[in-house]
Chain A
Amino acid sequence: MTTKITPWSRRRFLAGSALTLAAPAALTSTRAYAANPVIKVGHVSPRTGPLAGFAEADDYVLEAINQAFAAGLENNGKTYTVEIISKDSQSNPNRAAEVAADLILGDEVDLIVAASTPDTVNPVSDQAEINEVPCITTDCPWQPYFFGRNGVPGEGFENTYHFFWGLEDVIGAFLDMWGKSGVAKNIGGLFPNDADGNAWGDAELGLPKPLAAAGYNLVDPGRFQPLSDDFSNQIAAFKSAGCEIVTGNMIPPDFATFWAQSAQQGFTPKVVTIGKALLFPSVIEALGTRGDGLTSEVWWSPNHPFSSSLTGATSKDLADGYTAASGRPWTQPIGFKHALFEVVADVIKRAEDLDDPAAIVSAIASTDLDTITGNVNWANGPINNVTKTPLVAGQWQREGDVLDLKIVANAAAATIPITGDLKLLS
């Protein structure tokens, strides 16, 4: 097992500089391999840029995976060496498409994986689909993945598969939590004009319909541009409608602006539940005392009663291991990044013929694996090429010096234990 993240690869250096001379000689360099046949897995992840928080645990997760793969993986009685080639998308969808094409055409990977938001997952999946390379992705709600790629229900995609949860799960978890709070059913909605915001705010597929069905009055002042510096209009609308709950999907800087301006303008909701912005402890810390009590969706936590099919580690082992290795608090993407490679290992072991992309795709489609994030089985999906893992809702609560994400509502996934009671903000 070797992991290649080497920037100074001779082949690529030559290929780049040889363009000057258009010298075909540069194209003859090859790599030498050990006796075992090699399966190459491409991995695209936003290691730098605004989405870097999602990938901060990449090195830790990949190290554990490399150890698990060290002896090679067995397929049809033959041992294969697995080579993971990791590339940085720079949080830029253009770059994600470039590196995906690079992995597919240059490194000729047999399988490509990607994680973290539609901006990474969608361009990589599109490149895999058109180049007919099997692709597994996670860490992006399935609606922006499926509909954002112009997927047709019933047809789906040929080569690209995705596991995560969907908006219906977020809505269910949020309604469950808000029902417990006992506050007035007036909700302010904050939806940016980006892939996630459009999906969450969509009149048909997003939050508005189910919230209305559950008796909530949603005040939606319309889509705002990400990185806005003024939320006065939204705050005024929420105040005049008497909103006691605020929800939506935002990036951390936008939420920080909104939350600071709410305080300045005397808007004090009792529950604030925001997707995406409140995932990372560093973001909550940055909000100071006003970070205490904010609520968010929880896709994975150290208390999830699952363990890795690869290493046997429990959720708690994995999270604690990261804290011990890096000195930083655990984050939710860790579990999913690990699970992504669990699925990869399972597919490599089960594929009927690893030289045939179609056989790898059918192995992905027939996956039934209990991962550290729950069961992954595309036969159970809500739509073609998509399967779901359980989702609950949690609240950031300060205990002494430490901020902890307590799970406060679990109606949709009773196996995940509740670890705290919902507290109101004001």
Chain B
Amino acid sequence: MNLSNLHVTRTSRAAKAAAVVGALILIVLIAAPWWAGRADMRLMGELFLYLALASLWNLMAGYAGLVSVGQQAYVGFGGYMLFALTIFGGIYPLGAIALAGVLGALVAVPVALLIFRLRGAYFAIGTWVIAEVFRLSFAQVSALGGGSGSSLPVGIVKSLAASRSGREHLSYWLALGSTVIVIAAVYLLLRSRNGLALTAIRDNELAAGSLGIDIWRTKFVVYVVTAALTTMIGALIFLQKLRISPDAAFSVNDWTAFVIFIVVIGGIGTIEGPIIGTLIFFVLRETLADLGTIYLLVLGVVAIVIMLKAPNGIWGLIRGRFDIELFPLSFRVKTTHPSKKG
């Protein structure tokens, strides 16, 4: 075997096919207002928002090793910023969502400086404490309804678009667009130099450090970017919910436990994992949610079984068996002229 016949590449036939299929699916999804009903569009919108949250959490926990159980802090913060900026600032909702992202990043800086002093389990608990601090703080703001919560005035919702279908289409596209942006951002980040550093940190933090990677700075960037995007997703979520209260906004169940469930069953540390996890979560929810507590039992059982039988999640299982990667991130050695001998 001649070495010159070999080269290193990221792409593969499966990845190319996935890119084509993905682009086709995206076009079909963009066209959803012309083929889907109102309820289906709303459900898909919600699915996209969960997918975005899951992808962000996966970037943080799966790559940077920042296992946060306090991401609801930013979801809730985003929701409250949407309400505050539109009600008191008179800002158009879309502008408020963008501005909320900036504010989320600004808030994340001091929070990161504080909680990055903690390691492992202490870090996880610390993030949760921060989220509780956020919840209790917003419960004291009487202008936003305090512990009672507040509704988004009808006039603000109607300013998005005059007609009901116009609003529905817009909020669907916003959800779809935000997910595409989040996944694209995660993908591009992971393909960049920072991504290489992150992958190294994921595999072995000590070794990565000894190779000269600035671990603290890399994690800091990931945390702040994730917080900013999570804040924007939070604002979008509460634009759909129309009503906010501290318990709903900073719900650890809705915005973190379900998201961790999605990432863990889908496959942590992969871009494909959260996509699969979100689909499974929604199939379970749409079929079982009316069964009451049984639904939550089923979710728990699914999580336990997958953690025991497939610790790397469903995508980890598939990748292990077929060695495919839909989002080409890792490098492979290929022969330049594929010969029968291989």
Contact = CB atoms under 8 A, between A and B. Distances in A.
B296 to A, nearest CB: 8
Nearest to B27: A22
Interface stretch (B6-14, B240-248, B306-314, B321-329): B240-248
Contacts of A123: 241-243
Contacts of A7: 287-291
A195 B147 contact: yes
| Residue from the set A16, A17, A94, A223 with the largest chain B CB neighbour count within 10 Å | A94
A35 interface: no
6 contacts: A19-B44, A20-B279, A22-B29, A102-B42, A123-B242, A150-B153
Contacts of B164: 131-132
Interface string A42-53: 000001100000
A397 B39 CA distance: 50
B149 interface: yes
Contact of A199 (B148, B154, B291): B148
A261 B282 CA distance: 44
Interface stretch (A85-93, A240-248, A262-270): A85-93
A272 B291 CA distance: 38
Interface string B141-154: 01001111111111
Interface string B122-155: 0000000000000010011010011111111110
B208 to A, nearest CB: 36
Name the interface size band of chain A: 35 or more
Contact of A122 (B136, B151, B286, B291): B151
Contacts of A22: 25, 28-29, 32
B139 A193 contact: yes
B114 to A, nearest CB: 22
Interface string A320-353: 0000000000000000000000000000000000
A27 B151 contact: no
Contacts of A6: 290
A7 B265 CA distance: 23
B136 A225 contact: yes
Contact of A129 (B25, B37, B149, B154): B154
A194 to B, nearest CB: 5
B99 to A, nearest CB: 22
Contacts of B25: 22
Contact of B39 (A93, A105, A129, A197): A105
A15 B243 contact: no
Given A19-B47, A106-B39, A198-B146, 18 more contacts: A5-B290, A94-B254, A97-B243, A98-B46, A106-B40, A106-B42, A119-B245, A119-B247, A126-B151, A127-B242, A130-B242, A148-B148, A150-B151, A193-B140, A194-B148, A195-B245, A223-B146, A226-B147
A interface: dominant SS: helix
A192 B246 CA distance: 13
A19 B248 contact: no
A88 B292 contact: yes
B248 A92 contact: yes
Nearest to B168: A105
Contact of A27 (B35, B42, B142, B287): B35
B283 interface: yes
B242 A93 contact: no
A72 interface: no
B29 A194 contact: no
B293 interface: yes
B149 A130 contact: no
A88 B290 contact: yes
A88 B149 contact: no
Nearest to A98: B46
Interface in A220-257: 223, 225-226
A126 B139 contact: no
A387 B29 CA distance: 45
B334 interface: no
A15 B154 contact: no
A12 interface: yes
B38 interface: yes
A71 B244 CA distance: 41
Contacts of A16: 43, 282-283, 285-287
B248 A130 contact: no
A101 B28 CA distance: 24
Nearest to B37: A27
Contacts of B282: 16, 19
A8 interface: yes
Interface in B249-287: 251, 253-254, 279, 282-283, 285-287
A92 B251 contact: yes
Interface in A111-141: 118-119, 122-123, 126-127, 129-132
Nearest to A11: B39
A118 B283 CA distance: 29
A144 interface: yes
A77 interface: no
A155 B319 CA distance: 59
A197 B149 CA distance: 12
A126 B145 CA distance: 15
Contacts of B44: 19
A111 B115 CA distance: 49
| Residue from the set B43, B140, B147 with the largest chain A CB neighbour count within 10 Å | B147
Given A16-B43, A93-B247, A198 B148 contact: yes
A19 B48 CA distance: 11
Nearest to A198: B148
A126 B146 contact: no
Given A24-B36, A105-B38, A150-B153, A12 B147 contact: no
A68 B136 CA distance: 47
Nearest to B249: A94
A87 B290 contact: yes
B148 A144 contact: yes
A69 B251 CA distance: 39
Given A24-B36, A132-B164, A225-B136, A12 B279 contact: no
B15 interface: no
Interface in A1-58: 5-8, 12-13, 15-17, 19-20, 22, 24, 27, 47-48
A193 B240 CA distance: 25
Nearest to A148: B148
A130 B40 CA distance: 18
A149 interface: yes
A5 B292 CA distance: 11
B317 interface: no
A24 B44 CA distance: 13
| Residue from the set B164, B242, B243, B287 with the largest chain A CB neighbour count within 10 Å | B243
Contacts of A97: 240-243
Contacts of B140: 193
A87 B96 CA distance: 33
